[in-house]
Amino acid sequence: MALSGLDIYKLLPKTNCKACGFPTCLAFAMQLAKKAVSIDACPSVSKETKAALEAAAQPPIRLVSVGRPEKPLDMGNETVLFRHEEKFRNPCGLGFVIDDSLSDDEITVRVQKINQLKFERVGQELQVNAVAVKQTGNAERFVEAVRLVGARTQLAIVLMSQDAQALAGALPLLKDTKPVVFSVTGASVDSLLPAIAPFKPAVVVSASDLQGVAALTQQLTRQGIQDILLDTGAKPCAQKLWDLTQIRRLALRKSERSLGFPSIVVVDEQDPAAEALQAATYILKYAGLVLVRSIENWQSYALLTLRQNIYSDPQKPLQIEPKLYEIGTVTRESPVLVTTNFSLSYYTVLGEVEASKIPVYILSVDTEGMSVLTAWAAEKFTPERITQTLQKMAVRDKAQKSALVIPGYVAVMSGDLEDQSKWDIIVGPKEASGIPAFLKTLGHGKANR
């Protein structure tokens, strides 16, 4: 847990010698609490105090990065229990389990399909993060399956094996990436660590309860292994959620260092819908990496959309650049649709406009990322602001003969906007889904003026 300036002051020599460049120890302590200076600036501080301050400066949940350096999967480094307290920092990874019992062709097809699980939503690319190879038979087959997967994906790789021989054969194949070894247990830790430690993978510790997991992390950290993920085994969803919540709570609120690592969850459900629901639960609270089996597009899209929403900064709505966007081959007669610069609003309108295949301008007004009704209620989407945007973007230079279409939910502003902007105002549909039909009526002069 971060120390306050006063907490730090109590640990300093309190001689006010000024050697640190500050007039008093208290002034130095205050800067140290803000991380504006280093403790090294004080020559009089004891080794013990320095160690205590450095330990306090560590994040309560360690940042663990796996995968390729140019495309890492970062997990952990979380500082809050609830998103609204600040934000969640590193989006939960989503990965897929592939059994080594599949044929080479089947593995290749599955990896290719996983690689293609990329989607664009509200201007951001959403992608899955990991492929897990699970050992089901002998070491040779596992090593061959890892070779196949490693050569076919840039995603992070999880080695699901507790076989020292299999891991010793597979890890040298993954020199360009930092894999995850899943897992060591109380029974296997002593035999597995010598085989895997030289390759410096991230290591999952597995135990059925938090005490067992904590004992294993302490054992690993004593041996210099810091990149650790926590696993409390297969359990009913409610129990798993309890484990994940307790781990997060103890790490953040009780500064329990032995549980200050990201968690990994394997969802083992045959029904894809139930699997997606469970995975969604763990993305919400509080997994660092979730592994599933199904590689259906609908499932990944739903989970990645949920993840995107949970891991966005609640203080900063997703925004696009406020400007005049040209959609299709616009002319001077093309209508101008007005919306806000909230990403979801803009991309929803854009999707419907593109579906209509009718060229239009979309004028995105700077509402500080608020949606239409929220911005209107907060007086960020007003006739004045829209008029200023029209002028600033010189919209008349491009859309000389067109009308301005405002969202149906803010029809009440049409009179004021017409007076202030001197544009013909047309009230559009309330929902974006009505845009294609609306644009067709607009072409035939039937829209509401």
Residues of this chain that bind ligand SF4 (CB under 6 A)? 12-13, 15-20, 22, 25, 28, 42, 44
Min dist. Cβ of residue 55 to ligand SF4 (A):
19
Nearer to ligand SF4, 39 or 148 (CB): 39
Task: From residue 221, give the alpha-carbon distance in Å to each of 71, 133, 203, 253, 348.
Answer: 26, 26, 11, 21, 48
Min dist. Cβ of residue 56 to ligand SF4 (A):
16
Nearer to ligand SF4, 19 or 378 (CB): 19
Nearer to ligand SF4, 28 or 361 (CB): 28
Min dist. Cβ of residue 344 to ligand SF4 (A):
49
Q: How is residue 110 written in tokens?
A: 């599955």
Nearer to ligand SF4, 39 or 337 (CB): 39
Min dist. Cβ of residue 2 to ligand SF4 (A):
18
**For 91, which DSSP code?**
P
Nearer to ligand SF4, 42 or 324 (CB): 42
Min dist. Cβ of residue 58 to ligand SF4 (A):
21
Nearer to ligand SF4, 22 or 342 (CB): 22
The residue among 254, 191, 189 whose CA lies nearest residue 228 is 189
Q: For residues 265 and 231, give the distance between their C-alpha atoms in angstroms, rounded to a whole number.
A: 7
Strand 93-99 versus strand 130-134 pairing type: parallel
Q: How is residue 247 written in tokens?
A: 């781990």
Min dist. Cβ of residue 16 to ligand SF4 (A):
5
Detail the DSSP E strand segments found in 45-171: 64-68, 71-75, 93-99, 118-121, 124-127, 130-134, 156-160
Q: Following CA atoms 397, 402, 406, 408 in sequence, which dihedral angle do they give, to the nearest 10 degrees?
A: -170
Q: For residues 181 and 87, give the distance between their C-alpha atoms in angstroms, rounded to a whole number.
A: 29
Nearer to ligand SF4, 13 or 72 (CB): 13
Min dist. Cβ of residue 43 to ligand SF4 (A):
6
Strand 130-134 versus strand 202-206 pairing type: unpaired
Residue 43: is it exposed, middle or buried by C-beta count within 10 angstroms (0-12/13-18/19+)?
exposed
Nearer to ligand SF4, 44 or 136 (CB): 44
| One-letter amino acid for residue 188 of the chain | S
Place of tokens 């085989």: 195
Min dist. Cβ of residue 28 to ligand SF4 (A):
4
